[in-house]
Structure 1
Amino acid sequence: MTSPAMPSVATGIARENTDRILRMFARFTSVGYLAYLALLYPSITTTTPLMHRWWTPLAVLIVFGSGVLPGMLSFRRGTAAMRSAAAVAALAFLTAAFTWPLAWTGLQLPGDDGVWLAAFPGLASLAGIIAWSTSVAFIHLVIGCTAVQMINLVARANASAPMLIPEITFAIMFCTLFVGGAAMALRTGRLLDATTDTTHAAAARAAAQRARAVERERFDALIHDGVIATLLAASRPVHRQSVRALATTTLRELDELHTIGDPDQQITISEALAQLRTAAVDVDPHTAFVVTSPESAEMFRIPLSTVRSMSAALSEALRNSHLHAGSLATRTVTAAVETDSISIDIADDGIGFDNAAIPPHRLGIAVSILGRMRHIPGGSARVDSEPGRGTTVHIEWTAL
């Protein structure tokens, strides 16, 4: 006997929270680059005569131009381009620092001034945190702080060589406050993602165990009501025709049990709608079940495993509505069938809720509805709700 197909559990750890923090840091870093460009403009113009004419415009363009890119790319769906841009920004800062000696004319700044690169090595390392591991970002921090302080030592008039080590140390410690804070925030995001992934996996395993228990109960009931009853009837002096009829019924039920257990089987849209209607009625006999279907969809077939998942999501949505919509709420289930898809809306006119206010540990929607449907090839789900305006759960499957 095959137990019902359950949603597979993703093997990789989710990155939703980590990516959200990375996007936030990318935007913060880009805004920081723009702010430093405005603040350092007088210093940039002051130090331009010290350099060959080609270096300052090119360095400003490369350093600040690359610094703005991560924030711009943070609005894209994926984070790969954003992280690559952050790596370019971090390396651009070091490139400007390492090419400075090649473009220096030998003129010196006043002793109380410094090169503009020395103002924000920590911001460049913050871009490194977005792109690389924490250890690599801290190596970048040490190299950047050391390089710009050595440039200050050479470029400033009457600079004190013995103060080089204390200034490097202070710069590293000061920048570490921000880069270290960013590293801890990212670590928290990764831990939260790992915890969320583990929790969802545990919920999926628990759902699979419940499904197996239901299957065992169904099988036990069939054994008791069919097989044992047939054997008892055969052992008693009753009419053979009655025994034959009972045995035929039991064998048919056993065959149906085997068929239902085949997740690869495809069923007609009429059979699928019957199962979905049964799932709705089992939870709430008073729920209206409305079907819209063109005649061209009569030959449409659906995998049985998909129907099971949709039935389970439908049942969970109705149960949630009974628990949370309020005692006066009414519910309607609308199934729309097309030639290659089926969608179901479970709507109520209850009190509604705010999606953002749902605690992370409440998994009824995240796992039993959204997660279950998203694990089906071609499946999708969403929940629309507002306080005081009811709730609509939309589940859909499209043949691939």
Structure 2
Amino acid sequence: MTASSALDSPPVEAHTMTLSALTRRIRGALDTADESSTAASDRILRRLGVSAGIAGIILGLFEVPEIAEQSRVAPHWWTASAVVLVFGFFPILALVSLVAGRRPIKVVSACAALSFLAVVATLPFGLEVHTVNASAVWPSRVLAMAVIAAVLAFPTRWAVAYMLLASAAAAVTTIYTMVDFTPLLFVENFLRAAGLSALFVWCGTAALGAAERVDRESAIAARRAAVAAAAQARDRERSRFAALIHDAVLSTLLEASRAGTESAVVRRQAERTLEQLDESRGAQRDPDLFDARSAVLFLRTAVHEVNPSIRFATRTWPGFDDLRMPVHAASTLAAALTEAVRNSLRHASVPGREVRRTVTATVSAGSIRIVFTDDGAGFDLAQVPADRLGISVSIMGRMRQLAGGSAFVESQPGEGTTVTLVWGGDGSH
């Protein structure tokens, strides 16, 4: 930029541009917080899906003798089709819950729930009238698993409606199939089915509802952290711009008015002032970037929203002021870090002493490294169950999906835990 072009653009324009950029930064951070707000509900949905899938397989094995007994009065094609429809989706549900996302889990669960209703609806075509000498036909015994699938697939009101419909349908089948049918048997079957199913509906919806509340609180915390970081950055920009106006622009004009004639000192001071104004305008070209101080403040605020007593230390390498971190990368890093903190608060307690927890942020020109440590109970990484998704998904998975990001977890029983999160700016562009 030449001297004339710099003078043509008043300093107020640069200040307005800076504030506008910070406003857009706040909006970007809030949008990123909304995108990552489903972590807890996803984890609970996955765990329930794995549990339901395994339970469906086990229940199917237990029902083999009853199925074989009642298949004597039913066509082989109907028995085979009914077994596949009632139990076939549960192994798929367990697998999908381990490797896929939220939508596939809901789709498979919906298929399991609806296929159960299809089997119950075809009972008149598969069994002859009053031929089953038992308290219930075998599909009715697995009603609870179908209800659990409905809880995973549908909103609560639809899951309750499904429970009532399936319980009534299963009880109605007794009118057609039972040898010694009585109205009392119908009422008993309906109340037994509805009562047991209601328990599963309540447990499932309570777990999913609690996870959604956690998600909302996490989103609120992320929003607060973003707003706090952006507000401090805005105040700092105002102070820096005010200092530039006072120390450079006004002093240059004052010296020029005193000199009266051409002065080499005033010329050099004017050139330097124009360079500073140019730097001030160019520093905020990308509104979606945090500088080093804003990024550290964002991460510290996120940690202290979870537990304000955790020590947060910062180390810097030469050139750290050159760091420019995208807001979405900072939000992902903060989400993984707060998950590590929450895991430590939940699982690392040691009876009889206080567990020390520390976060150390090391900032260089092109990267930031976050190390969270505690001296708590620790654990054996090899013994972590497959359905414990806090580490594999919420920490390691998040960082693997972030361009330039990586994560490492080190722990041994009795020796505490260290979680290292690294983001390198070269991978984000």
Q: Paired residue for 1:45?
A: 68
Structure 2, unpaired ranges of 5+: 1-14, 297-313, 335-356, 379-394
Q: Paired residue for 2:208?
A: 186
Q: Paired residue for 2:422?
A: 394
1:66 corresponds to 2:89 = yes
For residue 175 of structure 1, what is the amino acid of its counterpart? S
For residue 137 of structure 1, what is the amino acid of its counterpart? A
1:9 corresponds to 2:18 = no
- The counterpart of 2:358, out of the listed 299, 305, 324, is 324
Check 1:167–1:325 CA distance in 2 against 1; reply closer, same or farther (3 A cut). closer
Structure 1, unpaired ranges of 5+: 267-274, 291-303, 318-322, 336-342, 358-369
CA contact (8 A) 2:409 2:417 kept: yes
Higher percent of residues as helix: 2
Q: Paired residue for 1:308?
A: 324
Check 1:354–1:62 CA distance in 2 against 1; reply closer, same or farther (3 A cut). farther
CA contact (8 A) 1:51 1:104 kept: yes
Check 1:389–1:146 CA distance in 2 against 1; reply closer, same or farther (3 A cut). closer
Question: Aligned to 2:122, what secondary structure does the other structure show?
Answer: helix
- The counterpart of 1:174, out of the listed 186, 196, 202, is 196
Summarize deviations over 1:253-295 as a string: whole Å, max 9, x none.
Answer: 11221122222899xxxxxxxx98xx99xx657x5789xxxxx
Tell me the TM-score normalised to structure 1 length.
0.71
- The counterpart of 1:121, out of the listed 139, 143, 146, is 143
Question: Aligned to 2:98, what secondary structure does the other structure show?
Answer: coil
CA contact (8 A) 2:174 2:186 kept: no
User: Cα offset for 1:224?
Assistant: 1.5
- The counterpart of 1:381, out of the listed 402, 405, 424, is 405
Structure whose CA Rg is larger: 1
CA contact (8 A) 1:230 1:247 kept: yes
For residue 408 of structure 2, what is the amino acid of its counterpart? D
Superposition pairs of residues 175-324 of structure 1, within 5 angstroms: 175-236=197-258, 240-241=262-263, 242-263=265-286, 284=315, 287=317, 307-309=323-325, 324=358
Check 1:174–1:390 CA distance in 2 against 1; reply closer, same or farther (3 A cut). closer
Quick one: distance in 2 between partners of 1:189 and 1:69? 24
Q: Paired residue for 1:352?
A: 373
How many residues end up aligned between the 2 structures?
337
Quick one: distance in 1 between partners of 2:223 and 2:377? 22
Summarize deviations over 1:51-104 as a string: whole Å, max 9, x none.
Answer: 123211111122111222111111124222221111111111111100010122
Check 1:141–1:354 CA distance in 2 against 1; reply closer, same or farther (3 A cut). farther
Check 1:55–1:237 CA distance in 2 against 1; reply closer, same or farther (3 A cut). closer
User: Cα offset for 1:346?
Assistant: 3.8
Quick one: distance in 2 between partners of 1:389 and 1:193? 25
Q: Paired residue for 1:300?
A: none
Quick one: distance in 2 between partners of 1:77 and 1:115? 34
For residue 427 of structure 2, what is the amino acid of its counterpart? T
- The counterpart of 2:160, out of the listed 133, 138, 143, is 138
Question: Aligned to 1:352, what secondary structure does the other structure show?
Answer: strand
User: Cα offset for 1:352?
Assistant: 3.3
User: Cα offset for 1:334?
Assistant: 7.4
Question: Aligned to 2:423, what secondary structure does the other structure show?
Answer: strand
Check 1:184–1:220 CA distance in 2 against 1; reply closer, same or farther (3 A cut). same
For residue 81 of structure 2, what is the amino acid of its counterpart? L
CA contact (8 A) 2:405 2:427 kept: no
CA contact (8 A) 2:376 2:416 kept: no
CA contact (8 A) 1:288 1:332 kept: no
CA contact (8 A) 2:86 2:139 kept: no
- The counterpart of 2:178, out of the listed 142, 156, 164, is 156
Cα RMSD between the aligned structures? Answer: 4.0
Tell me the TM-score normalised to structure 2 length.
0.67
